[in-house]
Amino acid sequence: MIEDVLTLAHDVADGCTLPVRVRPGAKKNDVAGIHAGAVKISLTASPVDGRANEALIEFVAELLRIPRAAIAILSGASSRMKVLRIRGKSAAEVQAALFPIELC
């Protein structure tokens, strides 16, 4: 799985892009792993009137400790598969925040 994580986010000018697969209507907001080459994110918000998109941006911004304005949906606004544009964080920083490796 670690190899999959290392290839998800891609560096671009002033940040990175991240493919995500959203699961709206979940019991809690959570990074649920990797699915079909994207980070699987569970959200409590329903997929009505853009609520899940707003919740996605808020959840990812909170995880990365960046303002919500630094995150945009590049593609997939009405789909479960989306690509996020994250300004101010490298691909490595995003991957480390989403999938922290605990050392024992």
Residue 78 domain-assigned (yes or no): yes
Q: Comparing C-alpha atoms, which of 8, 19, 34, 9 is closest to residue 79?
A: 19
Residue 97 domain-assigned (yes or no): no
Q: What angle do CA 60, 27, 41 make, to 5 degrees?
A: 30
pLDDT of residue 2: 46
Residue 99 domain-assigned (yes or no): no
Residues in the chain: 104
Token couple for 75: 């593609």
pLDDT tens by residue, 19-45: 999 999 999 999 999 988 999 999 999
Q: Is the pLDDT of residue 104 over 60?
A: no
Can you tell me the distance from the alpha carbon of 73 to that of 24, in angstroms, rounded to the nearest whole number? 16
Residue 103 domain-assigned (yes or no): no
35 CB neighbour count, 10 Å cutoff: 14
- DSSP code of residue 80: S
Q: Is the pLDDT of residue 102 over 70?
A: no
